[in-house]
């Protein structure tokens, strides 16, 4: 049995030990295009690219064959740059195309070759037919549209934000349990919507 030492003259048995998660900067969520959450992770010092890459790696390390074919991330261009420089042999380059939403893509520099080649959310050259669907308008013309909603993640984020105050008061274990429970509830609601 390990005995705790006294703290500043207070008996160890009277000291209340509690570990709070106030140092969590943000929660990074991963979800399918249909809004169903896949996984999540904590970013402690900000949402930096190294942490995002490590979260992706950890989520799919035991099942690399299940990596998504496309991963939409608002900072995908910089994530791809990070991977090229820090993880040039990353298996993610062989399995997944990283894309940004159309708004982010429009604000990126046209001279950024990595962004233009790897992160285009709507390539019209036929290279990524899963990203586009053709809709026939009233004139009988086929109009290409995005085949996915980039708003799905934003909806989950805004829903989770409503619980932010509760998260700040929780211990680390309670935080994890509560997050898992919330994502399970969210998943069940999305599955009802899909059916």
The pLDDT assigned to 90 comes to 92
Residue 91 to residues 33, 84, 128, Cα–Cα distance (Å)? 22, 11, 19
- What does pLDDT average to over the chain? 84
Q: Which residues contact 179 (CB under 8 A, 6 or more apart)?
A: 27, 40, 167
Q: Phi then psi for 49, rounded to 5 degrees?
A: -65, -35
98: tokens are 């990283």
Q: Strand, coil or helix: what is 98? A: strand
Q: Strand, coil or helix: what is 94? A: helix
The pLDDT assigned to 149 comes to 76
Is it the case that residue 35 has pLDDT exceeding 50?
yes
- What is the percentage of the chain residues whose pLDDT exceeds 90? 28
Look-up of token digits 């950890």: 58
Q: Which residues contact 153 (CB under 8 A, 6 or more apart)?
A: 29, 31, 72
Is it the case that residue 15 has pLDDT exceeding 80?
no
User: Nearest-CA neighbor of 81 among 25, 73, 45?
Assistant: 73
Is it the case that residue 21 has pLDDT exceeding 60?
no
- The angle formed by the CA atoms of residues 193, 105 and 157, to the nearest 5 degrees, is 35
The pLDDT assigned to 91 comes to 92
The pLDDT assigned to 52 comes to 92
Query: Per residue in 76-112, pLDDT tens?
Result: 989 999 999 999 999 999 999 898 887 788 877 677 8
Is it the case that residue 45 has pLDDT exceeding 50?
yes
Look-up of token digits 């994890």: 176
The pLDDT assigned to 19 comes to 54
Span of 41-45, 124-128, 180-184 with lowest mean pLDDT? 124-128
Is it the case that residue 36 has pLDDT exceeding 90?
no
34: tokens are 């249909």
Residue spans per domain, the chain: 20-150
8-17: average pLDDT: 72
169-194: average pLDDT: 90
R_g (Cα) of the chain, nearest Å = 21
The pLDDT assigned to 57 comes to 93
């Amino acid at each position: 049995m390990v005995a705790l030492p006294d703290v500043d003259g207070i008996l160890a048995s009277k000291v209340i030990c509690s570990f709070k998660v106030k140092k969590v900067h943000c929660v990074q969520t991963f979800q399918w295009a249909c809004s169903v959450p896949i996984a999540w992770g904590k970013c402690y010092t900000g949402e930096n690219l190294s942490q995002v890459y490590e979260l992706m790696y950890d989520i799919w390390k035991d099942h690399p064959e299940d990596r998504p074919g496309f991963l939409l991330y608002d900072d995908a261009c910089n994530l791809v740059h990070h991977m090229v420089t820090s993880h040039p042999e990353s298996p993610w380059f062989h399995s997944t195309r990283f894309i940004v939403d159309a708004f982010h893509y429009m604000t990126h520099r046209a001279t950024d070759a990595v962004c233009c080649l790897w992160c285009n959310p709507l390539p019209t050259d036929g290279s990524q037919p899963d990203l586009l669907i053709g809709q026939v308008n009233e004139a009988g013309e086929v109009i290409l549209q995005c085949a996915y909603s980039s708003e799905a993640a934003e909806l989950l984020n805004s829903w989770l934000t409503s619980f932010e105050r509760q998260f700040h008061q929780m211990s680390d274990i309670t935080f994890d349990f509560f997050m898992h429970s919330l994502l399970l509830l969210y998943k069940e609601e999305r599955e009802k919507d899909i059916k």
